[in-house]
């Protein structure tokens, strides 16, 4: 069944079909639509969710932690400063291994104040121990939301999941979305899978206790294992989602014309649309170009990325966040490391684009392919920036 | 480091550091990092048990019959609360430095 939905409405609809137990949120542009639409579902009695209109994002994540520890499904939606304000509590969620769902409509961080999209909010949370999946469209935002609990609640994973999608470019883009029948979606998502819930009064447990140096490291190691295991579980859940929807998510990456491509753009999120158009146009002129879109950023699919790039001569890694003094943006660092770890040595160049939602059109993607072929091009380049 | 116990590895720990057995903090050796400990003087003690409820670490040892029998130095953090509570004069509890090899 097709519906015209923007990214936020698509996520809200997926959440309605999931019918989570607790939704705690504080509104922030560009994700406000999600709690707004969802609270109308609550008011109309279409879900049995306890909607908690908290006083801040810090409280939203804290409420989700309490709910998830008690053994129910908890969700929140946020962006930008809201996600930044959750930062310390994000670590608690992943450290206590609580499979919370967070929908993030990517937006730039202040200052200067911007309400517009880029990836600096969620990329700054990449080390918090959350699984991070990046959608390219309202369709994927819907699909990944439906898959998130099955990934996070898996006994081998037990981690919170962030579904990220570009602010405005996806959150406010109205487009055709293929929606599952309620019953099909509900049967797929199933009942919550708990582990040591606080509300099991017969078996009292303690969450979030203090540890000394003789235990803490072991806990972190176990968390790392959950993240490693998630690679396989993301693939399994993505495959079974394909069976009910016809849209297969078994691969953590998506590729276009990559088999014989000499120049490849590696990108995350909605701007892959512009890159796709550039690839199609340049291919029609006989240029050997391709694209690789990374969907799962945490865990990072090192093998799949390296394998897809093994024949590439030139790789343009596109980051929608600033390098902040790093060797390049976060995607650049991951892709470069994945190549190195697999003894691959193509030319790798970083392109920073779309900061504060600076336009990134197919023409800009074409410019990237052209620049990539220049002999002495810099390691870090800025796309569509005034000098 | 004199009495190091073999602790379980990460694979056998509960997911998320959840504590599955209630009251297990009693098993934790809270005092083995502290340089001082509390010493009990059996001679002056009147066995009133006033020290027992104030100890935050369950370090005051009392037998089934309710008799004060000593201090668990592995648990005692040398906070001194029991000394304040002790009614005898001189006090039947006092802080002392541990010997280097006990730390
Ligand atoms: S000094 Fe403090 S920790 Fe030690 S026995 Fe007395 S009350 Fe307990
Ligand atoms: S408070 Fe003092 S006198 Fe009373 S039991 Fe404890 S050590 Fe003995």
* A351 and A280 co-located in one domain: yes
Which residue's entry shows tokens 């005034």?
A386
Q: Is A373 part of a structural domain of the chain?
A: yes
Q: What is the rounded distance in angstroms from the CA atom of residue A257 to the CA atom of residue A275?
A: 12
Residues of chain B positioned with their CB less than 8 A from the CB of A154 = none
Phi, psi of B78 (to 5 degrees): 60, 40
* A44 and A98 co-located in one domain: yes
**Which value does ipTM take for this structure?**
0.87
* A283 and A353 co-located in one domain: yes
Mean per-residue pLDDT, B90-97: 97
Residue A106 has pLDDT above 70, yes or no: yes
Q: Is A315 part of a structural domain of the chain?
A: yes
* A131 and A48 co-located in one domain: yes
Q: Which ligand is nearest to the CA of B38?
A: 1
Max intra-chain CA distance, chain B: 53
Domain that holds residue A349: 253-382
Q: What is the rounded distance in angstroms from the CA atom of residue A167 to the CA atom of residue A189?
A: 26
What number does the ligand 1 atom closest to the CA of B58 have?
A: 8
Mean per-residue pLDDT, A67-79: 98
Q: What integer best gives the mean pLDDT of chain A?
A: 98
Cβ–ligand 2 contact at B51 (below 6 Å)? yes
Quick check: A96 and B9 CB within 8 A?
A: no
Residues of chain A positioned with their CB less than 8 A from the CB of B20 = 196, 203, 205
Say which CATH number the domain at A281 has. Answer: 3.40.50.920
Cβ–ligand 2 contact at B59 (below 6 Å)? no
Q: Which two tokens stand for residue A103?
A: 């929908």
Whether domain B40-96 has CATH 3.30.530.20: no
Report the residue among B28, B35, B37, B81 best suited for mutation to probe ligand 1: largest number of ligand atoms under 8 A from its CB.
B81
Mean per-residue pLDDT, A289-307: 98
Query: Count of H helices and E strands in chain B?
Result: 2, 4
Q: Is A309 part of a structural domain of the chain?
A: yes
Sign of CA dihedral A219, A221, A225, A230: positive
Q: Is A180 part of a structural domain of the chain?
A: yes
The 3-state DSSP composition of chain A as helix, strand, coil percent (nearest 5) reads 40, 20, 40
Q: What is the rounded distance in angstroms from the CA atom of residue A139 to the CA atom of residue A233?
A: 21
Closest residue by Cα to atom 2, ligand 1, is B79
* A27 and A89 co-located in one domain: yes
Q: What is the rounded distance in angstroms from the CA atom of residue A326 to the CA atom of residue A328?
A: 5
Mean per-residue pLDDT, A267-279: 98
Q: For strands A101-106 and A74-78, give the pairing.
A: parallel
Q: Is A387 part of a structural domain of the chain?
A: no
* A92 and A199 co-located in one domain: yes
What is the pTM (predicted TM-score) of this model?
0.90
pLDDT at B3: 53
Say whether A39 sits in a helix, a strand or coil.
helix
Which residue's entry shows tokens 């009990």?
B40
In sequence order, what DSSP letters do the residues of B76-89 get, joined into one string? -----HHHHH--SS
Measured at the CA of A236, the angle between CA A230 and CA A240, to 5 degrees, comes to 140
Q: Which ligand is nearest to the CA of B44?
A: 2
CA dihedral of residues A32, A33, A35, A36 (deg, nearest 10): 110
Q: Is A266 part of a structural domain of the chain?
A: yes
Say whether A243 sits in a helix, a strand or coil.
helix
Domain count, chain A: 2
Q: Could you tell me the end-to-end alpha-carbon distance of chain A, in angstroms, rounded to an integer? A: 48
Which residue's entry shows tokens 């879900």?
A47
* A100 and A225 co-located in one domain: yes
Q: What is the rounded distance in angstroms from the CA atom of residue A183 to the CA atom of residue A189?
A: 10
Residue B26 binned pLDDT confidence (cut-offs 50, 70, 90): confident
Determine the distance from the C-alpha atom of residue A243 to the mean position of all C-alpha atoms in its chain, rounded to a whole number.
Answer: 22
pLDDT at B33: 87
Say whether A82 sits in a helix, a strand or coil.
helix
């Amino acid at each position: 069944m097709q519906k015209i939905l923007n990214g936020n409405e698509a996520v809200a609809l997926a959440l309605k079909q999931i019918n989570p137990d607790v939704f705690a949120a504080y509104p922030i542009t560009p994700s406000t639509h999600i709690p707004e639409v969802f609270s109308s579902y609550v008011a109309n009695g279409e879900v049995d969710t306890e909607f908690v209109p908290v006083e801040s994002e810090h409280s939203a994540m804290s409420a989700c932690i309490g709910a998830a520890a008690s053994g129910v499904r908890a969700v929140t939606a946020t962006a930008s400063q809201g996600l930044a304000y959750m930062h310390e509590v994000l670590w608690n969620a992943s450290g206590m291994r609580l499979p919370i769902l967070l929908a993030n409509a990517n937006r730039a961080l202040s200052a200067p104040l911007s309400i517009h999209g880029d990836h600096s909010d969620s990329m700054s949370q990449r080390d918090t121990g959350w699984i991070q999946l990046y959608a390219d469209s309202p369709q994927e935002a819907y699909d990944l939301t439906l898959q998130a609990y099955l990934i996070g609640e898996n006994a081998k994973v037990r981690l919170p999941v962030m579904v990220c999608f570009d602010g405005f470019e996806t959150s406010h883009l109205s487009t055709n979305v293929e929606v599952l029948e309620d019953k099909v979606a509900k049967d797929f998502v199933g009942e919550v899978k708990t582990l040591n819930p606080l509300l099991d009064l017969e078996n009292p447990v303690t969450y979030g206790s203090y540890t000394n140096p003789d235990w803490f490291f072991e806990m972190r190691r176990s968390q790392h294992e959950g993240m490693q295991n998630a690679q396989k579980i993301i693939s399994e859940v993505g495959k079974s989602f394909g069976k009910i929807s016809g849209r297969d998510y078994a691969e953590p990456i998506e590729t276009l014309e990559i088999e014989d491509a000499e120049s490849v753009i590696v990108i995350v999120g909605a701007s892959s649309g512009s890159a796709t158009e550039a690839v199609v146009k340049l291919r029609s002129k006989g240029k050997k170009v391709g694209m690789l879109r990374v969907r799962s950023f945490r865990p990072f699919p090192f093998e799949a990325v390296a394998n897809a790039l093994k024949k590439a001569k030139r790789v343009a890694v596109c980051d929608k966040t600033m390098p902040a003094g790093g060797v390049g943006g976060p995607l650049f660092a991951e892709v470069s490391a994945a190549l190195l770890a697999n003894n691959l040595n193509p030319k790798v160049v970083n392109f920073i684009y779309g900061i504060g939602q600076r336009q990134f059109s197919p023409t800009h993607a074409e410019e990237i392919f052209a620049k990539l072929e220049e002999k002495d091009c810099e390691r870090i380049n800025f796309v569509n920036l005034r000098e | 480091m004199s009495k190091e116990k073999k602790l379980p590895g990460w694979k056998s720990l509960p997911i998320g550091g959840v504590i599955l057995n209630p009251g297990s903090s009693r098993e934790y050796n809270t005092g083995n990092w502290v340089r001082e400990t509390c010493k009990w003087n059996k001679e002056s003690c009147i066995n009133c048990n006033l020290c027992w409820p104030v100890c935050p670490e369950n370090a005051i040892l009392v037998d089934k019959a309710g008799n004060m029998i000593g201090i668990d130095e592995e648990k005692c953090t040398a906070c001194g609360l029991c000394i304040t509570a002790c009614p005898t004069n001189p006090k039947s509890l006092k802080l002392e430095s541990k010997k280097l090899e006990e730390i």
